Structure 1
Amino acid sequence: MKKVLLLLANGFEAVEASVFTDVIGWNKSDGDGTTELITAGIRENLKCTFNFTVIPEMKISEINIHEFDALAIPGGFEEAGFYEDAYSEDFLNIIREFDRAGKIIASICVGALPIGKSGVLVGRNATTYNFGIRQKQLSEFGVNVLGTEPIVIDNNIITSYNPSTAFDVAFKLLEMLTSKVNCQNVKRLMGFYQDISL
């Protein structure tokens, strides 16, 4: 079983988290059955950007990265407190450990910023939210920002430039964990292809 750790910061954007839970969940139930997702956070209760509460399955202190194959990080809003958790040393250390082990790290939108702050993207290619100051902030962490690319993959790290890329990032993660054929089948089952006979 391939296990994905969905690392949630307070103030995360719900839609960006839900694509990971749904794509990995659809694969578990209707795809090749080889994936599972576990949620974790610093707090016992996390409030998402637009005000509903989530109870993560694990506290960040309980994470053993050797039990996981990939890390997924949704973005969030500064006004909702996202960076308080996402820039904490406990959060950044999980990112560093996954990268040191060569495991996949997939992020959406400003989920790339804690990856940049952790130091693992120095001299590497990435992107983040493509409006306002966020790409400049990512470059200040020593990252080569490819600002016009919707999704950037540099070895084991996937970054993207806004919420519109969310499903594409989740499907790329599934493809990297399983196979292209399996990923296409899950996309078909979820209705992403018009021709359902594919």
Structure 2
Amino acid sequence: MAAPLQIGFVLFPKLTQLDLTGPVQVFARVPGAVVHLLWKRIEPVPTDSVLTLTPTTTFADCPQLDVVCVPGGAGVDDIVNDQDVLGFLRHQAEGARYVTSVCTGALALGAAGLLDGYRATTHWAARDCLAPFGATLSTERVCIDRNRVTGGGVTAGIDFALSLVSILADQPTAEAIQLVIEYNPAPPFNSGAPETASPAVLALTRERMAPFQQRRREAVARAAQRFKAGLKLGV
């Protein structure tokens, strides 16, 4: 009997729950897969919405994962400078088959030094935050570069998960899961990307996000300094 496929998602306060729950719904339907929700302690973790999530495993008790995934959200601004989280990601990446993220979770991978020399994607509003970690920006909805698989913003997590299932298992398995969850998107508006949103909607969104983006850039700048210092020291 084949060993179960171990898939782990890192939790953290103020994560965007759909970054996580979309892929979890997909991976939970993969035959033989065990999905872990991971945090430092077994305690409720608040998301950036009304939902609270409960970890199933701590970092210390986590088995070696086949797939490690970091979702995004406002809380990424904190974990890019959290050495417990970054150390866990580095440790797991040594033995993982795939090192992955959804949305701005890519910034945590970058801060851990795991995207240096790789192509990666992230939420459109955080694209300028990848280069400081040595990553090459991709604007694909799902970017696959060797064993680094990154998804774009929020809803791209489902596309990311289905794409990875087609690699971990096969395309028919991924297609069957897509059918079961009736993933057949037909958005009521064509405003889901900066390239298709109207100038007025884009301007309004950028204005509302500006304070949050400034905080993120400051957090990324601190993390990037540590990343570059580590490169100089060879660590």
Same fold (TM over 0.5): yes
Give the structure 2 partner of residue 142 of structure 1.
Answer: 134
Q: What SS class does the counterpart of residue 114 from structure 2 fall into?
A: coil
Which stretches in structure 2 are left out of the alignment for 5+ residues?
A: 186-235
Q: Quickly say closer, same or farther: Cα 1:12–1:48, change in 2 above 3 A.
A: same
Q: Quickly say closer, same or farther: Cα 1:192–1:52, change in 2 above 3 A.
A: closer
TM-score (normalizing by structure 1): 0.83
The amino acid that maps onto 2:127 is Q
Give the structure 2 partner of residue 30 of structure 1.
Answer: none
Q: Where do 1:65-104 residues align within 5 Å?
A: 65=64, 68-77=65-74, 81-104=75-98
Q: Are residues 1:46 and 2:45 paired?
A: yes
Higher relative contact order (CA 8 A, sep 6+): 1
Distance in 2 between the 1:60 and 1:10 partners?
Answer: 15
Distance in 2 between the 1:173 and 1:101 partners?
Answer: 17
The higher radius of gyration belongs to 2
Q: What SS class does the counterpart of residue 140 from structure 2 fall into?
A: coil
TM-score (normalizing by structure 2): 0.71
Distance in 1 between the 2:96 and 2:10 partners?
Answer: 17
The amino acid that maps onto 2:39 is G
Give the structure 1 partner of residue 179 of structure 2.
Answer: 188
Q: What SS class does the counterpart of residue 149 from structure 1 fall into?
A: coil
Q: What SS class does the counterpart of residue 19 from structure 1 fall into?
A: helix
Deviation at 1:84, TM superposition (A): 2.1
Distance in 1 between the 2:48 and 2:164 partners?
Answer: 24
Which stretches in structure 1 are left out of the alignment for 5+ residues?
A: 28-32
Distance in 2 between the 1:86 and 1:117 partners?
Answer: 6
RMSD of Structure 2 on Structure 1 (CA)? 1.9
Distance in 2 between the 1:177 and 1:97 partners?
Answer: 21
Q: What SS class does the counterpart of residue 130 from structure 2 fall into?
A: helix
User: Conserved in 1, the CA contact under 8 Å of 2:76 and 2:107?
Assistant: no
User: Conserved in 1, the CA contact under 8 Å of 2:106 and 2:121?
Assistant: yes
CA-to-aligned-CA distance 1:4-30 (integer Å, 9 cap, x gap): 011112111111111122112233xxx
Distance in 1 between the 2:45 and 2:79 partners?
Answer: 10
CA-to-aligned-CA distance 1:138-161 (integer Å, 9 cap, x gap): 111111112x32221111111122
Match of 1:34 among 13, 32, 35: 32
Distance in 2 between the 1:192 and 1:127 partners?
Answer: 22
Distance in 2 between the 1:15 and 1:193 partners?
Answer: 17
Q: Are residues 1:5 and 2:8 paired?
A: yes
Q: Where do 1:94-173 residues align within 5 Å?
A: 94-131=88-125, 134-146=126-138, 148-173=139-164
Deviation at 1:102, TM superposition (A): 4.6
Give the structure 1 partner of residue 169 of structure 2.
Answer: 178
